[in-house]
Chain A
Protein backbone atom coordinates (compact mmCIF):
# COMPACT_ATOMS: atom_id res chain seq x y z
CA UNK A 1 0.00 0.00 0.00
CA UNK A 2 3.02 2.19 -0.11
CA UNK A 3 2.29 4.18 -3.23
CA UNK A 4 3.86 7.37 -2.01
CA UNK A 5 4.66 9.55 -5.00
CA UNK A 6 8.26 10.62 -5.36
CA UNK A 7 7.37 14.21 -5.92
CA UNK A 8 4.21 16.08 -5.06
CA UNK A 9 5.04 19.21 -6.97
CA UNK A 10 6.57 19.03 -10.45
CA UNK A 11 9.15 21.36 -11.98
CA UNK A 12 6.40 23.64 -13.27
CA UNK A 13 5.09 24.11 -9.76
CA UNK A 14 2.02 22.01 -10.45
CA UNK A 15 0.62 19.35 -8.13
CA UNK A 16 -0.25 15.72 -8.90
CA UNK A 17 -3.75 16.72 -9.98
CA UNK A 18 -2.46 19.62 -12.03
CA UNK A 19 -3.41 22.34 -9.55
CA UNK A 20 -1.34 25.32 -8.48
CA UNK A 21 -0.20 25.20 -4.87
CA UNK A 22 -2.76 27.81 -3.87
CA UNK A 23 -5.63 26.47 -5.94
CA UNK A 24 -8.63 24.66 -4.46
CA UNK A 25 -10.34 21.72 -6.11
CA UNK A 26 -13.48 22.39 -8.15
CA UNK A 27 -16.62 22.53 -6.04
CA UNK A 28 -20.23 22.05 -7.06
CA UNK A 29 -23.09 22.91 -4.77
CA UNK A 30 -26.74 21.92 -4.95
CA UNK A 31 -29.17 23.36 -2.47
CA UNK A 32 -32.49 22.02 -1.21
CA UNK A 33 -31.94 18.47 -2.39
CA UNK A 34 -33.92 16.69 0.34
CA UNK A 35 -37.66 17.26 0.56
CA UNK A 36 -38.15 16.31 4.19
CA UNK A 37 -35.27 18.29 5.64
CA UNK A 38 -35.71 21.95 6.58
CA UNK A 39 -32.51 22.71 4.75
CA UNK A 40 -30.14 20.59 2.75
CA UNK A 41 -27.13 20.72 0.50
CA UNK A 42 -25.26 18.32 -1.71
CA UNK A 43 -21.67 19.30 -2.23
CA UNK A 44 -18.94 17.83 -4.35
CA UNK A 45 -15.42 18.97 -3.78
CA UNK A 46 -12.84 17.14 -5.82
CA UNK A 47 -13.89 13.56 -5.31
CA UNK A 48 -15.61 14.24 -2.01
CA UNK A 49 -19.36 13.82 -2.07
CA UNK A 50 -21.15 15.23 0.93
CA UNK A 51 -24.82 15.43 1.77
CA UNK A 52 -25.82 17.75 4.60
CA UNK A 53 -29.25 18.25 6.11
CA UNK A 54 -30.63 20.49 8.80
CA UNK A 55 -33.70 19.73 10.87
CA UNK A 56 -35.04 22.35 13.21
CA UNK A 57 -35.31 24.41 15.22
CA UNK A 58 -37.50 21.70 16.70
CA UNK A 59 -38.46 20.41 20.10
CA UNK A 60 -35.66 18.70 21.95
CA UNK A 61 -36.18 15.38 23.64
CA UNK A 62 -35.30 14.26 26.22
CA UNK A 63 -36.25 17.51 27.86
CA UNK A 64 -33.45 17.46 30.38
CA UNK A 65 -31.10 18.26 27.50
CA UNK A 66 -32.96 21.48 26.73
CA UNK A 67 -31.17 24.73 27.39
CA UNK A 68 -33.42 27.35 28.96
CA UNK A 69 -31.84 30.32 27.19
CA UNK A 70 -30.77 28.99 23.83
CA UNK A 71 -31.11 26.29 21.26
CA UNK A 72 -28.85 23.28 21.34
CA UNK A 73 -26.89 22.54 18.20
CA UNK A 74 -26.23 18.91 17.43
CA UNK A 75 -23.82 18.06 14.66
CA UNK A 76 -23.34 14.56 13.36
CA UNK A 77 -20.48 13.85 11.01
CA UNK A 78 -20.89 10.37 9.62
CA UNK A 79 -19.04 8.39 7.01
CA UNK A 80 -20.89 5.92 4.86
CA UNK A 81 -19.38 2.44 5.05
CA UNK A 82 -18.68 2.51 1.32
CA UNK A 83 -17.17 6.00 1.29
CA UNK A 84 -13.58 4.84 1.71
CA UNK A 85 -11.21 2.26 0.22
CA UNK A 86 -11.47 -0.21 3.10
CA UNK A 87 -15.04 -0.43 4.36
CA UNK A 88 -15.62 1.82 7.36
CA UNK A 89 -17.43 0.20 10.24
CA UNK A 90 -20.80 1.93 10.50
CA UNK A 91 -21.61 3.97 13.58
CA UNK A 92 -19.67 6.58 15.49
CA UNK A 93 -15.92 6.12 15.77
CA UNK A 94 -13.60 8.09 18.03
CA UNK A 95 -12.57 10.06 14.98
CA UNK A 96 -16.10 10.94 13.95
CA UNK A 97 -17.06 11.87 17.50
CA UNK A 98 -14.16 14.30 17.68
CA UNK A 99 -14.92 15.76 14.26
CA UNK A 100 -18.58 16.16 15.18
CA UNK A 101 -17.60 18.03 18.33
CA UNK A 102 -15.20 20.49 16.72
CA UNK A 103 -17.52 21.00 13.74
CA UNK A 104 -20.40 21.83 16.04
CA UNK A 105 -18.16 24.32 17.80
CA UNK A 106 -17.31 25.82 14.43
CA UNK A 107 -20.96 26.85 14.07
CA UNK A 108 -21.66 27.92 17.66
CA UNK A 109 -20.29 31.44 17.16
CA UNK A 110 -22.49 32.18 14.13
CA UNK A 111 -25.82 30.47 14.76
CA UNK A 112 -28.14 32.74 16.73
CA UNK A 113 -29.19 30.08 19.17
CA UNK A 114 -30.63 32.53 21.67
CA UNK A 115 -33.64 32.97 19.39
CA UNK A 116 -34.84 29.43 20.00
CA UNK A 117 -34.62 28.63 23.70
CA UNK A 118 -35.00 24.96 24.57
CA UNK A 119 -35.12 23.92 20.92
CA UNK A 120 -32.61 21.84 19.01
CA UNK A 121 -31.04 22.41 15.63
CA UNK A 122 -29.85 19.14 14.16
CA UNK A 123 -27.16 19.19 11.53
CA UNK A 124 -26.36 15.94 9.78
CA UNK A 125 -23.38 15.67 7.48
CA UNK A 126 -23.04 12.42 5.57
CA UNK A 127 -19.83 11.63 3.76
CA UNK A 128 -20.89 9.54 0.77
CA UNK A 129 -17.48 9.47 -0.84
CA UNK A 130 -14.30 10.51 0.89
CA UNK A 131 -11.23 11.94 -0.76
CA UNK A 132 -9.27 14.03 1.73
CA UNK A 133 -10.75 17.02 3.48
CA UNK A 134 -14.11 15.52 4.38
CA UNK A 135 -14.51 17.48 7.60
CA UNK A 136 -14.00 20.79 5.83
CA UNK A 137 -16.24 19.75 2.94
CA UNK A 138 -18.90 18.70 5.45
CA UNK A 139 -18.71 22.07 7.19
CA UNK A 140 -19.08 23.90 3.88
CA UNK A 141 -22.14 21.83 3.04
CA UNK A 142 -23.62 22.17 6.53
CA UNK A 143 -23.17 25.92 6.41
CA UNK A 144 -25.28 26.13 3.25
CA UNK A 145 -27.86 23.69 4.60
CA UNK A 146 -28.27 25.89 7.70
CA UNK A 147 -28.82 28.92 5.48
CA UNK A 148 -31.25 26.92 3.34
CA UNK A 149 -33.18 25.99 6.49
CA UNK A 150 -33.52 29.70 7.25
CA UNK A 151 -31.66 29.43 10.54
CA UNK A 152 -30.65 32.96 11.57
CA UNK A 153 -26.87 33.21 11.43
CA UNK A 154 -24.41 36.05 11.72
CA UNK A 155 -22.82 34.77 8.56
CA UNK A 156 -21.73 31.65 6.76
CA UNK A 157 -18.86 29.43 7.84
CA UNK A 158 -16.33 28.27 5.27
CA UNK A 159 -13.62 25.69 5.80
CA UNK A 160 -10.51 24.59 4.01
CA UNK A 161 -7.25 22.85 4.81
CA UNK A 162 -3.62 23.68 4.23
CA UNK A 163 -0.89 21.09 4.25
CA UNK A 164 2.77 20.70 3.57
CA UNK A 165 4.28 18.51 0.86
CA UNK A 166 7.84 18.57 -0.43
CA UNK A 167 8.47 21.21 2.22
CA UNK A 168 5.98 23.57 0.60
CA UNK A 169 2.61 24.76 1.85
CA UNK A 170 -0.28 23.73 -0.37
CA UNK A 171 -3.96 24.64 -0.23
CA UNK A 172 -6.74 22.06 -0.09
CA UNK A 173 -4.97 18.70 0.15
CA UNK A 174 -5.83 15.86 -2.20
CA UNK A 175 -5.66 12.23 -1.10
CA UNK A 176 -1.95 11.49 -1.67
CA UNK A 177 -1.01 14.83 -0.14
CA UNK A 178 -3.19 14.05 2.85
CA UNK A 179 -1.80 10.53 3.27
CA UNK A 180 1.87 11.26 2.82
CA UNK A 181 2.11 14.99 3.46
CA UNK A 182 4.07 16.48 6.31
CA UNK A 183 1.27 18.46 7.88
CA UNK A 184 -2.48 18.97 7.77
CA UNK A 185 -4.18 22.09 9.09
CA UNK A 186 -7.95 22.35 8.64
CA UNK A 187 -9.45 25.74 9.46
CA UNK A 188 -12.97 27.15 9.42
CA UNK A 189 -13.64 30.86 9.43
CA UNK A 190 -16.58 33.22 9.64
CA UNK A 191 -17.07 35.92 7.05
CA UNK A 192 -15.25 38.31 9.41
CA UNK A 193 -12.22 36.08 9.25
CA UNK A 194 -12.58 34.79 12.80
CA UNK A 195 -11.37 31.26 13.26
CA UNK A 196 -14.01 28.87 14.55
CA UNK A 197 -12.30 25.58 13.84
CA UNK A 198 -8.63 24.82 13.89
CA UNK A 199 -6.88 21.51 14.14
CA UNK A 200 -3.42 20.57 13.18
CA UNK A 201 -1.17 17.59 12.99
CA UNK A 202 2.17 17.11 11.37
CA UNK A 203 5.16 19.33 11.59
CA UNK A 204 5.28 23.06 10.97
CA UNK A 205 7.60 25.76 12.17
CA UNK A 206 5.94 28.79 13.72
CA UNK A 207 6.78 30.79 10.59
CA UNK A 208 5.20 28.18 8.37
CA UNK A 209 2.18 28.10 10.61
CA UNK A 210 1.63 31.83 10.22
CA UNK A 211 1.90 31.54 6.47
CA UNK A 212 -0.38 28.51 6.44
CA UNK A 213 -3.12 30.35 8.31
CA UNK A 214 -2.96 33.16 5.77
CA UNK A 215 -3.06 30.80 2.81
CA UNK A 216 -5.92 28.87 4.35
CA UNK A 217 -7.97 31.98 4.95
CA UNK A 218 -7.58 32.92 1.29
CA UNK A 219 -8.99 29.52 0.39
CA UNK A 220 -11.86 29.93 2.85
CA UNK A 221 -12.78 33.32 1.38
CA UNK A 222 -12.95 31.80 -2.09
CA UNK A 223 -15.27 29.12 -0.79
CA UNK A 224 -17.35 31.69 1.04
CA UNK A 225 -17.95 33.44 -2.29
CA UNK A 226 -19.00 30.16 -3.92
CA UNK A 227 -21.38 29.46 -1.06
CA UNK A 228 -22.95 32.89 -1.35
CA UNK A 229 -23.21 32.61 -5.11
CA UNK A 230 -24.92 29.22 -4.83
CA UNK A 231 -27.41 30.54 -2.28
CA UNK A 232 -28.17 33.62 -4.35
CA UNK A 233 -28.72 31.57 -7.49
CA UNK A 234 -30.95 29.14 -5.67
CA UNK A 235 -33.13 31.72 -4.02
CA UNK A 236 -33.41 34.06 -6.96
CA UNK A 237 -34.47 31.04 -9.03
CA UNK A 238 -37.00 30.09 -6.43
CA UNK A 239 -38.30 33.61 -6.38
CA UNK A 240 -38.88 33.49 -10.14
CA UNK A 241 -41.03 30.42 -9.80
CA UNK A 242 -42.98 31.50 -6.76
CA UNK A 243 -43.78 35.02 -7.82
CA UNK A 244 -45.27 35.00 -11.30
CA UNK A 245 -46.31 38.16 -13.13
CA UNK A 246 -49.91 38.08 -11.89
CA UNK A 247 -48.54 38.45 -8.43
CA UNK A 248 -51.69 39.68 -6.72
CA UNK A 249 -53.64 36.51 -6.10
CA UNK A 250 -50.79 34.42 -4.82
CA UNK A 251 -49.40 36.93 -2.42
CA UNK A 252 -52.80 37.89 -1.09
CA UNK A 253 -53.65 34.32 -0.31
CA UNK A 254 -50.47 33.95 1.64
CA UNK A 255 -50.99 37.13 3.55
CA UNK A 256 -54.63 36.45 4.25
CA UNK A 257 -53.89 32.99 5.45
CA UNK A 258 -51.59 34.41 8.03
CA UNK A 259 -54.08 36.99 9.22
CA UNK A 260 -56.85 34.47 9.28
CA UNK A 261 -55.24 32.08 11.64
CA UNK A 262 -54.84 34.97 14.00
CA UNK A 263 -58.35 36.45 13.66
CA UNK A 264 -61.49 34.46 13.21
CA UNK A 265 -60.15 32.27 10.51
CA UNK A 266 -62.65 29.47 10.13
CA UNK A 267 -64.73 30.57 7.18
CA UNK A 268 -61.96 32.29 5.35
CA UNK A 269 -59.59 29.39 5.51
CA UNK A 270 -62.13 27.06 4.03
CA UNK A 271 -62.87 29.71 1.41
CA UNK A 272 -59.31 30.09 0.37
CA UNK A 273 -58.32 26.53 0.36
CA UNK A 274 -60.51 26.00 -2.62
CA UNK A 275 -58.56 23.00 -3.55
CA UNK A 276 -60.03 19.73 -4.63
CA UNK A 277 -61.27 18.97 -1.16
CA UNK A 278 -64.96 18.25 -1.12
CA UNK A 279 -67.37 19.68 1.42
CA UNK A 280 -67.07 16.58 3.59
CA UNK A 281 -63.60 17.63 4.52
CA UNK A 282 -64.78 20.89 5.97
CA UNK A 283 -66.40 19.12 8.88
CA UNK A 284 -63.21 17.35 9.65
CA UNK A 285 -61.30 20.54 9.49
CA UNK A 286 -63.35 22.43 11.98
CA UNK A 287 -62.18 20.73 15.11
CA UNK A 288 -58.48 20.95 14.57
CA UNK A 289 -58.87 24.55 13.58
CA UNK A 290 -60.38 25.39 16.92
CA UNK A 291 -57.50 23.78 18.62
CA UNK A 292 -55.11 25.72 16.49
CA UNK A 293 -56.77 28.97 17.30
CA UNK A 294 -56.39 28.34 20.98
CA UNK A 295 -52.82 27.44 20.45
CA UNK A 296 -52.14 30.55 18.44
CA UNK A 297 -53.68 32.67 21.16
CA UNK A 298 -51.35 31.31 23.74
CA UNK A 299 -48.18 31.60 21.75
CA UNK A 300 -48.98 34.81 19.94
CA UNK A 301 -47.15 37.00 22.39
CA UNK A 302 -43.87 35.17 22.04
CA UNK A 303 -42.86 34.90 18.43
CA UNK A 304 -45.46 35.86 15.91
CA UNK A 305 -43.64 35.11 12.72
CA UNK A 306 -42.26 31.75 13.62
CA UNK A 307 -45.47 30.37 14.96
CA UNK A 308 -47.47 31.69 12.05
CA UNK A 309 -45.50 29.88 9.47
CA UNK A 310 -45.72 26.62 11.31
CA UNK A 311 -49.42 27.09 11.71
CA UNK A 312 -49.71 27.67 8.01
CA UNK A 313 -47.88 24.47 7.36
CA UNK A 314 -50.18 22.52 9.57
CA UNK A 315 -53.30 23.89 7.97
CA UNK A 316 -52.06 22.86 4.59
CA UNK A 317 -51.20 19.41 5.75
CA UNK A 318 -54.63 18.65 7.05
Chain B
Protein backbone atom coordinates (compact mmCIF):
# COMPACT_ATOMS: atom_id res chain seq x y z
CA UNK B 1 0.00 0.00 0.00
CA UNK B 2 2.07 2.92 1.15
CA UNK B 3 5.80 2.92 1.58
CA UNK B 4 5.62 2.34 5.28
CA UNK B 5 7.70 -0.60 6.40
CA UNK B 6 5.62 -3.21 8.14
CA UNK B 7 6.99 -6.14 10.04
CA UNK B 8 5.59 -9.58 9.41
CA UNK B 9 4.74 -9.83 13.10
CA UNK B 10 2.63 -6.71 13.01
CA UNK B 11 0.93 -7.94 9.88
CA UNK B 12 0.00 -11.18 11.59
CA UNK B 13 -1.11 -9.32 14.67
CA UNK B 14 -3.55 -7.15 12.74
CA UNK B 15 -4.79 -10.13 10.74
CA UNK B 16 -5.35 -12.25 13.84
CA UNK B 17 -7.17 -9.41 15.57
CA UNK B 18 -9.40 -9.11 12.54
CA UNK B 19 -10.27 -12.80 12.80
CA UNK B 20 -11.53 -12.09 16.33
CA UNK B 21 -13.53 -9.14 15.04
CA UNK B 22 -11.21 -6.60 16.62
CA UNK B 23 -9.00 -3.75 15.49
CA UNK B 24 -5.66 -2.47 16.79
CA UNK B 25 -7.17 0.54 18.51
CA UNK B 26 -10.23 -1.27 19.83
CA UNK B 27 -12.70 0.17 17.33
CA UNK B 28 -15.53 -1.75 15.72
CA UNK B 29 -15.20 -2.42 11.98
CA UNK B 30 -17.69 0.31 11.14
CA UNK B 31 -16.38 2.83 13.66
CA UNK B 32 -14.34 5.88 12.71
CA UNK B 33 -11.63 7.43 14.85
CA UNK B 34 -12.20 10.65 16.79
CA UNK B 35 -12.73 13.38 14.26
CA UNK B 36 -12.22 17.08 14.76
CA UNK B 37 -13.02 19.78 12.26
CA UNK B 38 -12.08 23.43 12.75
CA UNK B 39 -12.84 26.01 10.12
CA UNK B 40 -11.55 29.51 9.38
CA UNK B 41 -8.14 28.68 10.78
CA UNK B 42 -6.17 30.65 8.17
CA UNK B 43 -7.18 34.29 7.83
CA UNK B 44 -5.36 34.80 4.56
CA UNK B 45 -7.31 32.05 2.84
CA UNK B 46 -10.83 32.64 1.57
CA UNK B 47 -11.87 29.46 3.31
CA UNK B 48 -9.96 26.95 5.39
CA UNK B 49 -10.33 23.88 7.52
CA UNK B 50 -8.13 21.90 9.84
CA UNK B 51 -9.20 18.30 10.09
CA UNK B 52 -8.04 15.56 12.41
CA UNK B 53 -8.91 11.89 11.90
CA UNK B 54 -7.22 10.14 14.82
CA UNK B 55 -3.54 11.02 14.36
CA UNK B 56 -3.99 12.20 10.82
CA UNK B 57 -3.97 15.95 10.42
CA UNK B 58 -4.79 17.81 7.27
CA UNK B 59 -5.03 21.50 6.58
CA UNK B 60 -7.08 22.65 3.61
CA UNK B 61 -7.07 26.19 2.27
CA UNK B 62 -9.28 27.60 -0.44
CA UNK B 63 -7.99 30.54 -2.46
CA UNK B 64 -10.01 32.33 -5.11
CA UNK B 65 -8.70 34.13 -8.15
CA UNK B 66 -10.21 35.75 -11.20
CA UNK B 67 -9.22 33.83 -14.32
CA UNK B 68 -10.39 32.81 -17.75
CA UNK B 69 -12.80 29.88 -18.15
CA UNK B 70 -12.15 26.79 -20.23
CA UNK B 71 -13.51 27.20 -23.76
CA UNK B 72 -15.85 24.23 -23.38
CA UNK B 73 -17.47 25.64 -20.24
CA UNK B 74 -17.39 29.36 -20.87
CA UNK B 75 -20.00 30.21 -18.27
CA UNK B 76 -18.60 28.20 -15.39
CA UNK B 77 -16.02 28.68 -12.71
CA UNK B 78 -12.95 26.48 -12.46
CA UNK B 79 -11.96 24.08 -9.67
CA UNK B 80 -8.34 23.11 -9.18
CA UNK B 81 -7.44 20.67 -6.43
CA UNK B 82 -3.95 19.80 -5.35
CA UNK B 83 -2.64 17.74 -2.49
CA UNK B 84 0.81 17.75 -1.05
CA UNK B 85 2.20 14.90 1.01
CA UNK B 86 4.38 17.25 2.98
CA UNK B 87 7.64 15.73 4.30
CA UNK B 88 6.66 17.12 7.68
CA UNK B 89 3.93 14.46 7.84
CA UNK B 90 5.86 11.21 7.60
CA UNK B 91 9.41 9.87 7.33
CA UNK B 92 8.29 8.31 4.05
CA UNK B 93 7.24 11.51 2.35
CA UNK B 94 9.76 13.34 0.25
CA UNK B 95 9.71 16.88 -0.99
CA UNK B 96 9.28 17.42 -4.68
CA UNK B 97 6.57 17.19 -7.28
CA UNK B 98 3.60 15.03 -6.28
CA UNK B 99 3.90 11.30 -6.93
CA UNK B 100 1.12 9.00 -7.98
CA UNK B 101 -0.34 8.58 -4.48
CA UNK B 102 -0.70 12.30 -3.94
CA UNK B 103 -2.08 12.80 -7.43
CA UNK B 104 -4.58 10.03 -6.98
CA UNK B 105 -5.87 11.38 -3.67
CA UNK B 106 -6.09 14.91 -5.04
CA UNK B 107 -8.03 13.73 -8.07
CA UNK B 108 -10.42 11.58 -6.05
CA UNK B 109 -11.13 14.56 -3.78
CA UNK B 110 -11.51 16.78 -6.82
CA UNK B 111 -13.95 14.43 -8.54
CA UNK B 112 -16.03 14.22 -5.36
CA UNK B 113 -16.42 17.99 -5.22
CA UNK B 114 -16.82 18.42 -8.97
CA UNK B 115 -19.15 15.58 -9.88
CA UNK B 116 -21.49 16.04 -6.95
CA UNK B 117 -22.14 19.56 -8.19
CA UNK B 118 -21.26 20.75 -4.69
CA UNK B 119 -20.26 24.14 -6.05
CA UNK B 120 -22.74 25.94 -8.28
CA UNK B 121 -20.16 26.75 -10.93
CA UNK B 122 -22.51 28.89 -13.01
CA UNK B 123 -22.63 31.38 -10.11
CA UNK B 124 -18.85 31.70 -10.31
CA UNK B 125 -19.08 33.26 -13.76
CA UNK B 126 -18.29 36.98 -13.87
CA UNK B 127 -18.38 37.64 -17.63
CA UNK B 128 -19.18 34.66 -19.80
CA UNK B 129 -16.21 33.43 -21.77
CA UNK B 130 -13.91 36.04 -20.25
CA UNK B 131 -13.82 36.13 -16.49
CA UNK B 132 -14.74 33.52 -13.93
CA UNK B 133 -13.74 32.72 -10.39
CA UNK B 134 -11.15 29.99 -10.06
CA UNK B 135 -11.36 27.93 -6.89
CA UNK B 136 -8.03 26.57 -5.71
CA UNK B 137 -8.38 23.83 -3.13
CA UNK B 138 -4.97 23.14 -1.62
CA UNK B 139 -4.64 20.21 0.73
CA UNK B 140 -1.67 20.20 3.04
CA UNK B 141 -1.07 16.93 4.85
CA UNK B 142 0.53 17.67 8.22
CA UNK B 143 0.65 14.26 9.87
CA UNK B 144 0.08 10.86 8.35
CA UNK B 145 -1.79 8.58 10.71
CA UNK B 146 -3.58 6.77 7.88
CA UNK B 147 -6.58 7.57 5.71
CA UNK B 148 -5.42 10.91 4.39
CA UNK B 149 -8.05 10.51 1.69
CA UNK B 150 -11.06 10.88 3.95
CA UNK B 151 -9.53 13.69 5.98
CA UNK B 152 -8.82 15.53 2.72
CA UNK B 153 -12.34 15.04 1.48
CA UNK B 154 -13.76 16.29 4.77
CA UNK B 155 -11.31 19.21 4.82
CA UNK B 156 -12.08 20.23 1.26
CA UNK B 157 -15.83 20.46 1.72
CA UNK B 158 -15.52 22.03 5.19
CA UNK B 159 -13.23 24.71 3.78
CA UNK B 160 -15.54 25.31 0.82
CA UNK B 161 -18.56 25.62 3.10
CA UNK B 162 -16.87 28.49 4.92
CA UNK B 163 -15.44 30.21 1.86
CA UNK B 164 -16.32 33.78 1.04
CA UNK B 165 -15.69 34.97 -2.50
CA UNK B 166 -13.56 38.13 -2.20
CA UNK B 167 -15.39 40.00 -4.93
CA UNK B 168 -15.05 43.39 -3.32
CA UNK B 169 -11.28 43.43 -3.14
CA UNK B 170 -11.13 42.21 -6.73
CA UNK B 171 -13.50 44.97 -7.82
CA UNK B 172 -16.20 42.53 -8.89
CA UNK B 173 -19.10 43.59 -6.71
CA UNK B 174 -20.00 42.49 -3.23
CA UNK B 175 -18.51 39.61 -1.34
CA UNK B 176 -20.70 36.54 -1.48
CA UNK B 177 -20.63 33.16 0.19
CA UNK B 178 -19.48 30.24 -1.88
CA UNK B 179 -22.58 28.88 -3.66
CA UNK B 180 -22.76 25.37 -2.22
CA UNK B 181 -25.45 22.96 -3.43
CA UNK B 182 -24.44 19.67 -1.89
CA UNK B 183 -22.11 18.25 0.73
CA UNK B 184 -20.16 15.34 -0.76
CA UNK B 185 -18.10 13.31 1.66
CA UNK B 186 -15.67 10.50 0.98
CA UNK B 187 -15.43 7.45 3.20
CA UNK B 188 -12.74 4.84 2.70
CA UNK B 189 -13.32 1.17 3.41
CA UNK B 190 -10.46 -1.32 3.48
CA UNK B 191 -10.47 -5.04 2.99
CA UNK B 192 -8.31 -7.14 5.30
CA UNK B 193 -8.68 -10.85 4.69
CA UNK B 194 -12.30 -10.46 3.62
CA UNK B 195 -13.32 -8.16 6.48
CA UNK B 196 -14.32 -4.62 5.66
CA UNK B 197 -13.40 -1.73 7.95
CA UNK B 198 -13.93 2.00 7.68
CA UNK B 199 -11.37 4.72 8.33
CA UNK B 200 -8.13 2.69 8.47
CA UNK B 201 -5.38 3.92 10.76
CA UNK B 202 -1.85 3.82 9.43
CA UNK B 203 -0.99 0.19 10.21
CA UNK B 204 -4.27 -1.09 8.86
CA UNK B 205 -3.87 0.96 5.74
CA UNK B 206 -0.37 -0.44 5.26
CA UNK B 207 -1.50 -4.03 5.76
CA UNK B 208 -4.61 -3.97 3.60
CA UNK B 209 -4.34 -4.74 -0.07
CA UNK B 210 -7.51 -3.03 -1.22
CA UNK B 211 -9.09 0.27 -0.35
CA UNK B 212 -12.24 1.66 -1.79
CA UNK B 213 -13.21 5.28 -1.40
CA UNK B 214 -16.85 6.19 -1.93
CA UNK B 215 -17.94 9.80 -2.18
CA UNK B 216 -21.63 10.18 -1.43
CA UNK B 217 -24.01 13.11 -1.23
CA UNK B 218 -26.77 14.38 1.02
CA UNK B 219 -29.42 12.30 -0.75
CA UNK B 220 -27.35 9.14 -0.49
CA UNK B 221 -26.40 9.11 -4.18
CA UNK B 222 -22.83 8.38 -5.17
CA UNK B 223 -20.74 10.91 -7.05
CA UNK B 224 -17.31 9.35 -7.02
CA UNK B 225 -15.56 6.13 -6.29
CA UNK B 226 -12.08 4.74 -6.52
CA UNK B 227 -10.61 1.35 -5.83
CA UNK B 228 -6.99 1.62 -4.86
CA UNK B 229 -4.37 -0.97 -3.96
CA UNK B 230 -3.01 -4.22 -5.28
CA UNK B 231 -5.90 -6.48 -4.36
CA UNK B 232 -9.27 -7.39 -5.81
CA UNK B 233 -12.80 -7.16 -4.45
CA UNK B 234 -15.72 -9.47 -5.01
CA UNK B 235 -18.99 -7.93 -6.09
CA UNK B 236 -20.47 -8.78 -2.71
CA UNK B 237 -17.65 -7.05 -0.85
CA UNK B 238 -17.93 -4.05 -3.13
CA UNK B 239 -21.63 -3.58 -2.56
CA UNK B 240 -21.23 -4.01 1.18
CA UNK B 241 -18.41 -1.48 1.21
CA UNK B 242 -20.50 1.04 -0.70
CA UNK B 243 -23.34 0.60 1.73
CA UNK B 244 -21.06 1.00 4.75
CA UNK B 245 -19.43 4.08 3.25
CA UNK B 246 -22.70 5.80 2.41
CA UNK B 247 -24.12 5.20 5.87
CA UNK B 248 -20.98 6.45 7.52
CA UNK B 249 -20.85 9.52 5.30
CA UNK B 250 -24.38 10.49 6.31
CA UNK B 251 -23.42 10.14 9.97
CA UNK B 252 -20.24 12.20 9.62
CA UNK B 253 -21.95 14.88 7.55
CA UNK B 254 -24.54 15.33 10.24
CA UNK B 255 -21.95 15.39 13.03
CA UNK B 256 -19.29 17.64 11.53
CA UNK B 257 -20.59 19.59 8.55
CA UNK B 258 -24.27 20.33 9.08
CA UNK B 259 -23.82 23.62 10.93
CA UNK B 260 -20.88 24.96 8.96
CA UNK B 261 -22.50 26.66 5.99
CA UNK B 262 -22.20 30.41 6.24
Contact = CB atoms under 8 A, between A and B. Distances in A.
* A complexed with B: yes
Interface in A70-120: 94-95, 97-98, 100-102, 105, 108-109
A201 B246 contact: no
A310 interface: no
A185 B222 CA distance: 11
A64 to B, nearest CB: 12
Interface of B: 71-72, 100-101, 103-104, 106-107, 111, 114-117, 212, 217, 220-235, 238-239, 242-243, 246
A116 to B, nearest CB: 16
Interface of A: 1-2, 94-95, 97-98, 100-102, 105, 108-109, 185, 190, 193-206, 209-210, 213-214, 217
A101 B103 CA distance: 10
Contacts of B226: 102, 198-200
A201 B217 CA distance: 12
A2 B232 CA distance: 39
Contacts of A203: 115-117, 217, 221-223
Nearest to A189: B232
Nearest to A194: B232
A198 B238 contact: yes
B72 A1 contact: yes
A108 B117 CA distance: 34
21 contacts: A94-B103, A98-B100, A101-B101, A102-B226, A105-B228, A185-B225, A193-B235, A195-B227, A195-B232, A199-B226, A200-B222, A201-B114, A201-B223, A203-B117, A203-B223, A206-B221, A206-B242, A206-B243, A209-B222, A209-B242, A214-B235
A257 to B, nearest CB: 38
Q: Which of B107, B114, B222 has the most A CB atoms < 10 Å from its CB?
A: B222
Given A101-B101, A193-B234, 18 more contacts: A2-B72, A94-B106, A102-B228, A109-B230, A109-B231, A185-B225, A194-B234, A195-B227, A196-B227, A197-B227, A201-B114, A201-B115, A202-B115, A202-B223, A203-B115, A204-B222, A206-B222, A217-B235
Contacts of A101: 100-101, 103-104, 228
Contact of B224 (A1, A98, A109, A201): A201
A198 B104 contact: no
Nearest to A213: B235
Contacts of A94: 103, 106-107
